[in-house]
Amino acid sequence: MSITVADKVALVTGAGRGIGKGIARVLGASGASILVSNRSEAPAQAVAAAIRAAGGEASHVGCDVRREADVRRAVSTAVERYGRLDILVHNAGIYPVATIEKMSEELWNEVIDTNLKSTFFATKAAFEVMKPRGFGRIVVTSSITGPRTAIAGLAHYAASKAGINGFIKVAAIEGGRFGVTVNAIEPGTIATEGVVALGAEYLRRAAAALPIPRLGTVDDCAYAVLFLGSDQAAYITGQTLVVDGGQVLVESPDALQA
């Protein structure tokens, strides 16, 4: 039996680039109708156009996930255009670097609002349309950073992602009796546009530190989301799926040597 989301309707936030773009593309190629959401509309429009050019069904909507009204509008747009919402992939997130001493309250709030509070907004809005139908799949992009590892300069990001992992457990309990599952993926170092921009030497060192000696691709994350969003994952909820090539397994560089 193949894993598929054929004939499902999916909203993907933060889908203008990177992991979100990959998720939207893979779900679209697997038969779902995709509403591509992004704070800047132009990238979302381009991703939707690419999905349609590849034979899929997609449209776009602008959405600042820090604003509850915007998130509710994105969910209602999915219902208005496609008749329902089956899958919510909440992927939007930011990770500006600042040490704790140099981090302003404004920067802390911006990251928490964008990454964590928005997860509450998105899940709340999705519950309102999924619960009455008795079906829904919610998948949130978390990270290994915070729940499992740490990076200097990302205290706000780590806190937001650890918060997501706690939030989805409660959401899974509240959604379960209504046929709504809530899960997350935890990517490791993924070769997004921002990571590639760090340069060839960084990419080489990062890959060499992994048990699977390559950086993850956005498709690696997207296929994990495809599974969690599918009918085949109906009995999985409140869980996180690590997509990191074994990154969290390595105690030290010597651990890779037999």
Dist CA 114 CA 107 (whole Å): 11
CB atoms within 10 A of CB 22: 24
Please answer whether residues 33 and 9 qualify as being in contact, where contact means their C-beta atoms are separated by less than 8 angstroms.
yes
Q: Would you list the DSSP string of 124-191?
A: HHHHHHHGGGT-EEEEEE--SBTTTB--TT-HHHHHHHHHHHHHHHHHHHHHHTTTEEEEEEEE-SB-
Q: Is 157 a catalytic residue?
A: yes
Dist CA 196 CA 138 (whole Å): 29
Q: Which of 188, 232, 192 is nearest to 30 (CA)?
A: 232
Name the H helices within the chain. Answer: 18-29, 41-53, 68-82, 105-112, 118-130, 155-176, 193-196, 200-208, 218-228
Burial class from Cβ neighbours inside 10 Å (0-12, 13-18, 19+) for residue 111 reads: buried
Dist CA 48 CA 61 (whole Å): 10
Instruction: List the catalytic residue out of 95, 157, 223, 235.
Output: 157
Tokens of 127: 């519950």
For the annotated catalytic residues, the residue numbers are 157
